[in-house]
Structure 1
Amino acid sequence: MPAKSTDIHATEASRDISVSPTFPELVSAFARIGLMSFGGPAAQIALMHKICVEEKRWINEDRYLHALNYCMLLPGPEAQQLATYIGWLLHGVRGGIVAGLLFVLPGLAVILGLSTFYALYQDTGLVAGLFFGLKAAVLAIVVEAVIRIGRRALKTGFHRGLAAAAFVSLFFFSLPFPLVVLAAAAIGLAHARGAPSAPAEIVEEMVARPPFLRQFAALLFWVAVWLAPLPILWLFLPETALPEVQTFFSKMALVTFGGAYAVLAYVAQVAVDHYAWLKPGEMLDGLALAETTPGPLVLVLSYIGFLAGFRQSGALDPLVGGLLGGLLAAWATFIPSFIWIFAGAPYIERLRGNRLLGAALSAITAAVVGVILNLAVWFSLHVVFTRVEPVDLASLGPLTLSVPQPVWSSLDGQALFIAVVSAVMIFRFHLGVGKTLIAAGALGLAARFLL
């Protein structure tokens, strides 16, 4: 049983726990989840539901959905946060640490291995052909994400309007992604305050108020753990990209609402244009890599960190710099998940059923649909056309209305064909991500070597 100090939630939350697992049972289950968590957050959330709610009956449906709603509101990978939340609920802090780490570590090991292979051999015909096919298939996967999340989030005209406004803000005006997300949350709260409350609505307090000093100490401890590498990097490796990798991805961890899809366009802009860690097309390769691995799709950030450390390694061996860069990107991205759960969840538990919190969540989710749609269009243009040029249409005060315009003579027929085949496999035959990517990779190899 977990220690008493970690069981703030245990007494009253126990009514939502049908069967209490032993700690080894928890470790075994989340090791299994970590190895099987392919297919993005929707598939990962469904997998945890199947194992923790349906098979093991560790928590009931209401408790699971409450945890999921909280994690959806947070920045960062919601599936990993959900794993941490469930582990915390069942076995306190040690359960949360183990569940959160086991959800990430298998995919992290794979992405670092693939990033090493990519950095060393990407210019060979074999790897170039493979990734040519994979990034064409990613188009269909991103479009499916837009449709899947849109069906769940856009249930009212208000939410559809938020999604459209988010898309216009990003695609036509290139507004910063964090600003769009924060604006959506504020609009959602304002809309909820102006709407009448349901007369029978009751906000139930599920747990007692947690001790403030203990929670504040937990917050300080996890923030210190999160930022601990920074002074070491600036002191001993200032000539490498590693300090900037830690700094940049620590900032991104605070604004990555919507996961990898939603934040990738913003990361691409900074990583390519500001830091010059990657070339534009390599962002697509990174997402294709992340799609082939278990764990959160935001592991693509470890691929970016690997290439940054590999190419700007200073006196370090490039492979050592790359591995450190990939690990630092993961550290900066995933440690905040423990902060949100261990320091914040006991308080959020008391807001179960709160109308305003739900309004902010639904507004952010609606805006994320527009963000992902922007990413889908951006991907489509850069995969199907080899040349895309921005065209300024008008100036509206401090904002510039511009549109990325493809050069039609640069249309890549092979990439378009693979993208269409991938879409048919996903939408018509409902094949999984793994089979689709294997077929697309094979088509990419064939296009490079046989055509």
Structure 2
Amino acid sequence: MSAVPAAAEVVRSPEPVRFGEALKFWLKLGFISFGGPAGQIAIMHRELVEQKRWISERRFLHALNYCMVLPGPEAQQLATYIGWLMHRTWGGVVAGGLFVLPSLVILTVLSWMYAAFGHVSWVAGLFHGIKPAVSAIVPQAVWRIGSRTLKNPARTPWLWVIALASFLGIAWLKLPFPLIIGGAALAGVLGARVVPAQFAGGAGHGAAEKSWGPALIDDLTPTPSHAVFRKARLARVLAVAALLWLLPMGVLVATQGWDATLTRMGWFFTKAALLTFGGGYAVLPYVYQGAVEQFHWLTGPQMIDGLALGETTPGPLIMVVAFVGFVGGWTRQVLGPELLFLGGALAATVVTWFTFLPSFVFILAGGPLVEATHGQLRFTAPLTAITAAVVGVIASLALFFLLHIARDVPTPGWPVDIVSLAIAAAAAVALLRFKAGVIPVIAACALVGMGLRLAGIS
């Protein structure tokens, strides 16, 4: 008896998903979301589109395209969007919150280990190897974002000019990051009128090409009533969001004062959250300018170490801000010298709250409104220009990291650290030429650094 051909099999639509079942998946996702936004989005696509069929390919890509228009971590916002689409506001809050919570807990523990034991020889050796790896990872981000945005220079010269201007502006002229983003957005508005073809690419992910069978939220499934734009609902969401920002900020001002470290962290990372066009790497220069150069919450080398920890933990890369908060709270002793860990943990929590609150607001309040305008050039052209500027900004960050490791501990007889540069070159080859994963590269470099430190070579 012959088997029934696969093409003839009847594929049933999935059963409705209970809130508890969805909660279990979002919790699992929070612990397995490694690999940066590309890896995290790939995990969600495999689980939600191909296997569980909670949402169709087209609806998934439509949600992703919308999230890419917004500032903030696109993968976390995509999880929030799908959770909101399936189970209303609480579904979005749970999906987005559990995407972040495991990373916050893990990074808080790792940050404590770093602050308390970072001076130990073998631990210092690990980070001595990790720094060159990070200096190779950032150029990889330049290549990834640049290849998507900066096409043939002959066809998109404006975008190349914007990228170069942003690089010079932040690396040479030391212009504030918000000014660069604002200038790029203005260039996009003008470019859409003068040379619209150069700004038509946007940040989309294209059209769906595959079908994995009927989905719970399928191509023709009507938009749920809670996802339809209503002015009254928008006003309610914005009012609640304002309250969720004002209450903790008011408590910080009342108990700590406006000039206190925790209060300044809350205000600074609120601004950072509104400027993260292009993902976590894009906001790092702004965080560096504020946390290292302006407020001195941590040092440049510590910032590189924090980025390495962020790369090796689940969750969005922007979670590196939790490390910044913890180290800042620890060094500033925000709760006194007897409560260093609690002070650092509180600072990490404050920073995470004010960084991610806007992401939830963008989805829960703006989803129904912005979704209707996605794909229109007058909205996507500024984003395209901002993304081009982000390429230049991240390139400046890559240059900073490379210069730092080169000058870290000069090799005897050389003006630079030859060992660190060699590790960075090997990591770059592994990432760009052999497409090795970020975590294996960081782990290998860390072991090399520890071995060299224990052998007394570096």
Give the TM-score normalised by the residue count of structure 2: 0.84
In 2: Cα distance, 1:88 partner to 1:314 partner: 36
CA deviations over 1:316-363 (Å, ceiling 9, x no partner): 411111000000110011111111111111101221332222222222
Residue type matched to 1:222 in 2?
A: A
In 2: Cα distance, 1:373 partner to 1:219 partner: 36
Residue type matched to 2:390 in 1?
A: V
Match of 1:429 in 2: 434
In 2: Cα distance, 1:153 partner to 1:123 partner: 42
Which of 367, 370, 373 lines up with 1:351 in the alignment?
A: 373
In 2: Cα distance, 1:350 partner to 1:419 partner: 45
Identity level (%): 46
In 2: Cα distance, 1:305 partner to 1:315 partner: 13
Shift of 1:437: 1.0
Against the structure 1 CA distance between its residues 119 and 196, is the aligned structure 2 distance closer, same or farther, given a 3 Å change threshold?
closer
Residue 439 (1) aligns with residue 444 (2)? yes
In 2: Cα distance, 1:125 partner to 1:37 partner: 31
Residue 146 (1) aligns with residue 142 (2)? yes
In 2: Cα distance, 1:18 partner to 1:253 partner: 36
Residue type matched to 2:430 in 1?
A: M
Residue type matched to 1:134 in 2?
A: I
Residue 85 (1) aligns with residue 81 (2)? yes
Unaligned runs of 5+ in 2: 1-12, 201-221
Q: Which has the higher contact order (CA 8 A, sep 6+)?
A: 2
Which deviates more, 20-29 or 111-120? 20-29
In 1: Cα distance, 2:160 partner to 2:272 partner: 26
Residue 270 (1) aligns with residue 266 (2)? no
Contact preservation (8 Å) 1:33, 1:103:
yes
Match of 2:351 in 1: 329
In 1: Cα distance, 2:128 partner to 2:409 partner: 16
Contact preservation (8 Å) 1:78, 1:259:
yes
Residue 31 (1) aligns with residue 27 (2)? yes
Unaligned runs of 5+ in 1: 1-16, 199-205, 389-407
CA deviations over 1:84-118 (Å, ceiling 9, x no partner): 11111122111111110111111111110000011
Match of 1:362 in 2: 384
In 2: Cα distance, 1:82 partner to 1:26 partner: 15
Residue 190 (1) aligns with residue 190 (2)? yes
SS in 1 for 2:372: helix
Against the structure 1 CA distance between its residues 230 and 267, is the aligned structure 2 distance closer, same or farther, given a 3 Å change threshold?
same
Shift of 1:436: 0.8
Shift of 1:380: 0.8
Against the structure 1 CA distance between its residues 210 and 269, is the aligned structure 2 distance closer, same or farther, given a 3 Å change threshold?
closer
Contact preservation (8 Å) 1:414, 1:447:
no
Contact preservation (8 Å) 1:240, 1:313:
no
Contact preservation (8 Å) 1:177, 1:266:
yes
1:34-45 → structure 2 map (5 Å cutoff): 34-45=30-41
Give the TM-score normalised by the residue count of structure 1: 0.85
Match of 1:386 in 2: 408
Shift of 1:165: 2.1
Match of 1:113 in 2: 109
Taking only aligned residues, the RMSD between alpha carbons, in angstroms, comes to 2.3
Against the structure 1 CA distance between its residues 25 and 161, is the aligned structure 2 distance closer, same or farther, given a 3 Å change threshold?
farther
Match of 2:167 in 1: 167
In 2: Cα distance, 1:346 partner to 1:262 partner: 26
Residue 130 (1) aligns with residue 126 (2)? yes
Which of 361, 371, 378 lines up with 2:393 in the alignment?
A: 371
Shift of 1:257: 2.0
Which of 67, 82, 103 lines up with 1:71 in the alignment?
A: 67
Against the structure 1 CA distance between its residues 364 and 320, is the aligned structure 2 distance closer, same or farther, given a 3 Å change threshold?
same
Aligned residues: 409
Against the structure 1 CA distance between its residues 289 and 169, is the aligned structure 2 distance closer, same or farther, given a 3 Å change threshold?
same
Which deviates more, 32-41 or 50-59? 50-59
Match of 2:53 in 1: 57
In 2: Cα distance, 1:209 partner to 1:64 partner: 17
Contact preservation (8 Å) 1:386, 1:410:
no
Against the structure 1 CA distance between its residues 409 and 19, is the aligned structure 2 distance closer, same or farther, given a 3 Å change threshold?
farther
Shift of 1:315: 4.6
Residue type matched to 1:371 in 2?
A: V
In 1: Cα distance, 2:266 partner to 2:196 partner: 45
SS in 2 for 1:151: helix
Shift of 1:151: 1.4
Contact preservation (8 Å) 2:72, 2:273:
yes
Residue type matched to 2:26 in 1?
A: F
Against the structure 1 CA distance between its residues 246 and 166, is the aligned structure 2 distance closer, same or farther, given a 3 Å change threshold?
same
SS in 2 for 1:228: helix
Which deviates more, 427-436 or 207-216? 207-216
Shift of 1:159: 2.3
CA deviations over 1:98-154 (Å, ceiling 9, x no partner): 110111111111110000011111112122111111111012211111111111112
